[in-house]
Structure 1
Amino acid sequence: MKEDVFEVRDTVFAVSLETVLAGHENWVYGVHWQPALYKCGELQQPLSLLSASMDKTMILWAPEEVSGVWVEQVRVGEVGGNTLGFYGCQMSPDGSMILAHAFHGALHLWCKDQDKEVRGEWRPGVVISGHFNAVQDLTWDPEGEFILSVGSDQTTRLFTPWRKQDGKLPTWHEISRPQIHGYDMQCLAMVGRFQFVSGADEKVLRVFQAPRNFVENFANISGSSREKLLTSSDSANLPEGASTPALGLSNKAVFQGKILAQLCSSDGSQILSDNQYSWNKPPPEDHLLQNTLWPEVQKLYGHGFEMFCLASDSTRTVVASACKASKAEHAAVLLWSTSSWCQLQTLQCHTLTVTQMAFSPDAQFLLAVSRDRTWSLWRRNLPTAESPEPQFSLHAHTGKDNAIHSRIIWSCDWSPDSKYFVTSSRDKKVIVWGPCRLENTGNSVLPPEIKPCSSVLDVGDAATAVAFCPLLCSAKSYLLAVGLECGRILLYQWSPDQEFMGGQDWIRCAETDTLQSHALAVKRLRWRPKAESETEEESSWVQLASASTDHTVKIFSINKLAL
């Protein structure tokens, strides 16, 4: 080939084409050299080149020892899925690991088996993963063993600690992607050990049930008892997995025997084999995309606009839902029965979007806050022969004449004893309200006056999330976490017995620093439920999960005795 000769600072260079590496079927977006490795003057590792392409593959190129011709040594990648390919790649210095990142922000790692020869097998490795757009909502499962989160990346993701058999400390990983949707996800609520309801930018609520394959893999990865989990989830009736038909939004249950291999059905959806996808470590990205879906068991229709918030009570019998609204007729809260999935009731009070809802821990009250700057409190009525299903009636609410908040109320939560509830707003105010205990006098129930029980706490920025800790602090004070629009999280102790004139009832305990804080607004705060088997030493530590517009979910461990 003809050489191209050029000169730079009195130095002459001659460049000629050595070879053309043809192997990819789409744009090549990334290349990375691995320098030749010498030891004691001898060549230990020849010069090699890694390339990543939009065809969802990476190729490792190296010259042959005899001829010196560059050839393909290793090709790794994925088949199927809904990713767009790889945008960049990197190789470890010793050449034992290769890493790629994809359009949706996911990392893809392959490791060379050290027990094999140089041209041995490459296997997928465990990587960190997460949302690639704003995280809108999250919740803990009732036992506090895993987290479910939804985001504007149109996915629902499940994270749990991976308890390694080598005795190392557990690390959190994504082990399932129950829902990959066609709309941005907005909210979710757990309605059982392995069942949840989710809402998106559509008018439909969807109910999902964990398949048998997930329950078994969750037991392997988390170290939980498989027999106990399968017993609690009624494994006899569970499907093996789920698939999504081409151009569809609903995950279909897949029932099959264990002898079947992975197949492709006539409509293009994927059928799973629980033998093939048995994991004792977090699955790689390609399996998360295709083989960890949960089947959809129900659709709930009733709202006129996009879903915005969800809540479920502690008994897991009632789900409340609300959608975006600019008129009172659309701002109603709908109640659903989790046993029949029938609509129980329509609660009308607000004039604009209900931004968040929360049931009291004793399941006797439902609290709703709204863009109209007010809150409403609904009381559960005693069941009767005519209406055995739960029914709620308006117990108290604020209006224009007695509303303290002057901007949108973004968040609300209940104290663990169900005596008080807290609201936080864009006006930078956090307020505790109560008392909310009912007093039975014969056949009547006297509702006490609901009024502010705390001084107005100014947190200095829009308060977008708030949550009561399920455990009391010392001196019978409550611990609250407040999330701000700037990304910081503040911890306060609030004492109802203290005189709240002048703000003496609030004590600022801690706050996240620059490295710990989110980069954008905190969307949701959730404390980990208290486990019944916790020892006294373990109960001094509590965990707080936060979701943010900055695409991240963070989990903080807090020693409440040190506050």
Structure 2
Amino acid sequence: MTNRTYPLSPSTGGRRLQPLSLLSASMDKTMILWAPEEASGVWVEQVRVGEVGGNTLGFYGCQMGPDGSMIVAHAFHGALHLWHKRQDREWSPGVVMSGHFNAVQDLSWDPEGEYLLSVGSDQTARLLTPWKQKDGTQTSWHEISRPQIHGYDMQCLATVGRFQFVSGADEKVLRVFRAPRNFVENFANISGASLDKLLASSDAADLPEGASTPALGLSNKAVFQGDLAPKIHEQQEQLSCVSDQYRETYFHPLNLTEPPPEDHLLQNTLWPEVQKLYGHGFEMYCLASDSANTVVASACKASKAEHAAVMLWSSASWRQLQSLPCHALTVTQMAFSPDAQLLLAVSRDRTWSLWRRDPPTPDSAEPNFSMYTHTDKDTAVHSRIIWSCDWSPDSRYFVTSSRDKKVIVWGPCVLGTPGVPTPGVHHCSSILDVGDSATAVAFCPELCSDDSYLMAVGLDSGKILLYKWSPPQEPTGGHDWTKCAETDLVQSHTLTVKRLRWRPRAGRAGQGELASAGADHAVKIFNVNRHTLEAND
């Protein structure tokens, strides 16, 4: 137990501004404010706040506000908790910052760009969205849901439509999650979006109310309206006879107009798991989904070619469609072209492969992909592991970045007639040396005002660079790269940039936002200003 004493408030001429009190934080998940009785001088409990249930191990430290009206504490996993004393002298939870407490491995925007999902080695998936405060003067990003709390370190995710995503962790199974009705309603309240439109887009007819996690389980079970009353009654009966550490986490519906506190995030914002996907032989490493929301591609850790194949899954039936063998080592990242016609994969074996979507056949309407082109040990340009890749918004070019400090644009990619040999795809940019291992790269989804392409590059050092790229008149020649900006010491991550994603919304480059995930436990969102870019040209 950690104790803090507050015999005096901040001094103003030696006057006492609040009574003598003692605040204690404990691993029993509670905070207690103690004070002596005037008559006896015996210290007695005045206020008790904290969590009931939830996936946490208690509090490690606490602090009281100068005037005694606020209590802040940090939990076992680093989360902050805040309580305010209201005018009726009751204590209520307050909105605080939250975030991952280990490396953030992957992130993805929803197709409309209204929220951001991230997964990390802290075994959680977290959902962030902008929240406009009551006075309307300030908008800030907050976590409003923790869809998955897992038993394995999480490595990758892919959004499939507005309210569905697939996640992969240090296990051989992929898990599919779908938003419950309670989340959709609260998301509308907090973000200001139209609830009717959200429910229409999420096929609300069969949505459960929420989700709960069985004791010692890894799968979130759906909770429907008819299940709520029995579960609450059952919980009350079991509180005295079942260990808090291992009993089931029960769902209670929320009616939110502001981001929920940590205890609600842990217990009442889970998404139900709707499917498990089996087929990989080792831990999951990367995922990608197409813009048509029809196919999900997955890859696992591999030291042999037989395990390095990319697997394709139908998002309609969640059955395995194909296995695409090409690489000899782990596929590190994949990306579908914006027009959903091509799938790009890059690998530890220093090569990339490109797969094309074939026309549907009379026998099957399911998507089918075949080899378009690839590099091998003789045609590879990168000399070290390729970490990242992405597509230009017009699906003509793709970019790769590597540990060899090189960033290279390839293309143009022109789909010919099926069955006719396709021309090879070569690098069409000069080789950009960024001076450090290039661990993440992303094309902006909109062209710049001069019709050039805007690109963000993340480095192993934590810095993020912005470049404009224009296809040169002569292949692999000319000054096709223009550096626009870079993050300074304060803006940069302190460790490796793991992933970069531009917010998908209309408008010219500079009006968008760039999200980055870092090994330093941080998710950062940058406003990229067009006028700043033009000033640096």
**Bin for the TM-score computed over the shorter chain:** over 0.9
Q: Which has the higher contact order (CA 8 A, sep 6+)?
A: 2
Q: How many residues align?
A: 523
Corresponding position of 1:155: 124
Using the alignment, how far apart are the partners of 1:86 and 1:165 within structure 2?
Answer: 30
Q: 2:451 matched to which residue of 1? A: 476
Task: Output the CA distance in 2 between the equivalents of 1:30 and 1:433.
Answer: 60
Closer, same or farther: CA 562–41 of 1 in aligned 2, 3 Å: closer
- Is 2:54 the partner of 1:77? no
Displacement after TM superposition at 1:226 (Å)? 1.1
Q: Please tell me whether residue 178 in structure 1 is matched to residue 153 in structure 2.
A: no
- Please list, as runs of the form range in 1=range in 2, the aligned pairs for 1:6-21 lying within 5 A after superposition: none
Relative distance call for 1:459 and 1:39 in structure 2 (3 A) is closer
Give the Cα separation in 1 of the matches to 2:180 and 2:113. Answer: 19
Most deviating of 182-191 and 39-48: 39-48
- The reply to whether residue 422 of structure 1 matches residue 392 of structure 2 is no
Report Cα offsets for 1:434-458 as digits up to 9, x if no partner: 0112244xx7555232001100000
Residue 317 of structure 1 corresponds to which residue in structure 2? Answer: 294
2:438 partner letter = A
**Distance in 2 between the 1:310 and 1:476 partners?**
30
2:177 aligned residue? 208
In 2, the alpha carbon distance for the partners of 1:501 and 1:398 equals 17
Alignment of 1:445-460 (within 5 A): 445=420, 447-460=422-435
Aligned position for 2:369: 392
Q: Secondary structure at the match of 2:211?
A: strand
Distance 1:272 1:402, change over 3 A: same
Partner of 1:256: 225
Specify the code of the residue in structure 2 equivalent to 1:128: M
Task: Determine if contact 1:145/1:160 at 8 Å carries over to the other structure.
Answer: yes
State yes or no: 1:562 paired with 2:532: yes
Counterpart CA distance in 1 for 2:234 and 2:372 is 55
Summarize the alignment of residues 51-200 of structure 1 with structure 2, pairs less than 5 Å apart.
51-113=24-86, 115-116=87-88, 120-200=89-169
Q: Normalization by structure 2: what TM-score?
A: 0.94
Cα contact 2:332–2:387 (8 A) shared by 1: yes
Which has more radius of gyration?
Answer: 1
Q: Which amino acid aligns with 1:556?
A: F
**Matching of residues 355-374 of structure 1 within 5 Å:** 355-374=332-351
The correspondence of residues 527-538 of structure 1 with structure 2, limited to 5 A, is: 527-531=502-506
SS at match of 1:541: coil
Secondary structure of 2:447's counterpart equals coil
Structure 2 residue corresponding to 1:552, chosen from 509, 515, 522: 522
Which amino acid is the alignment partner of residue 507 of structure 1? T
- Describe the superposition over 1:29-48 as per-residue Cα deviations: whole angstroms up to 9, x where unpaired: 24242524677886542122
Runs of 5+ unmatched residues, structure 2: none
Alpha-carbon distance change, 271 to 313 in structure 1, aligned in 2, over 3 angstroms: same
Distance 1:370 1:142, change over 3 A: same
Contact 1:252 1:295 in 2 (8 A): yes
Change (3 A) 1:122 1:420: same
Work out whether 1:48 is the aligned partner of 2:25. Answer: no
- Higher strand residue share: 1
Whether 2:334 is the aligned partner of 1:334: answer: no
| Contact kept? 2:159, 2:289, Cα under 8 Å | yes
Say if 1:81 and 1:540 are closer, same or farther in 2 by CA, change over 3 A: same
Give 3-state SS (helix, strand or coil) of 2:49's partner.
strand
The one of 431, 446, 463 aligned to 1:488: 463
The CA deviation string for residues 12-37 of structure 1, in whole angstroms up to 9 with x for no partner, is xxxxxxxxxxxxxxxx1242425246
Q: How far 1:334 sits from its partner (Å)?
A: 0.4
Give the Cα separation in 2 of the matches to 1:366 and 1:38.
Answer: 66
Q: For the structure 1 residues 111 and 195, does the alpha-carbon distance in structure 2 shift closer, same or farther, using more than 3 Å as the test?
A: same
Q: Distance in 1 between matches of 2:437 and 2:216?
A: 40
Q: Quick one: structure 1 residues 300 and 31, their matched pair in 2 at CA, closer, same or farther if it must change by over 3 Å?
A: same
CA contact (8 A) 1:194 1:209 kept: yes
The residue type paired with residue 370 of structure 1 is: S
Instruction: Give yes or no for contact 1:37–1:46 (8 Å, CA) kept in 2.
Output: no
8 A Cα contact 1:467 1:526, kept in partner: yes
| CA offsets 1:218-255 (integer angstroms, 9 cap, x no match) | 11111111111112112221001101111111111011
Give the corresponding residue for 2:203. 234
Q: Normalising by structure 1, report the TM-score.
A: 0.89
1:497 Cα deviation after fit? 3.5
Partners of 1:159 and 1:172 within 8 A in 2: yes
Shift of 1:53: 1.3
Hey, what does 1:461 align to over in structure 2? 436
Query: Do the aligned residues in 2 keep the contact of 1:422 with 1:432 (CA within 8 Å)?
Result: yes
Which whole-Å deviations, capped at 9, do the CAs of 1:338-382 have from their partners, x for residues lacking one?
001111111000000000000000000000000000000001111
Cα distance per residue 1:410-464 (max 9 Å; x no partner): 0000000000000000000000000112244xx7555232001100000000000
SS of 1:45's equivalent in the other structure is coil
Cα–Cα, structure 1 residues 495 and 102, in superposed 2: closer, same or farther, change >3 Å?
same
Ranges in structure 1 where 5+ consecutive residues have no aligned partner: 1-27
Q: Is the CA contact 1:498–1:505 (under 8 Å) kept in the aligned structure 2?
A: no
Q: Is the 8 Å Cα contact of residues 542 and 560 (structure 1) preserved in structure 2?
A: no
- The secondary structure found in structure 2 opposite 1:475 is coil
Do residues 269 (structure 1) and 248 (structure 2) align?
yes
Identity fraction in percent: 73
**In 2, Cα distance between equivalents of 1:86 and 1:211:** 30
Partner of residue 3, structure 1: none
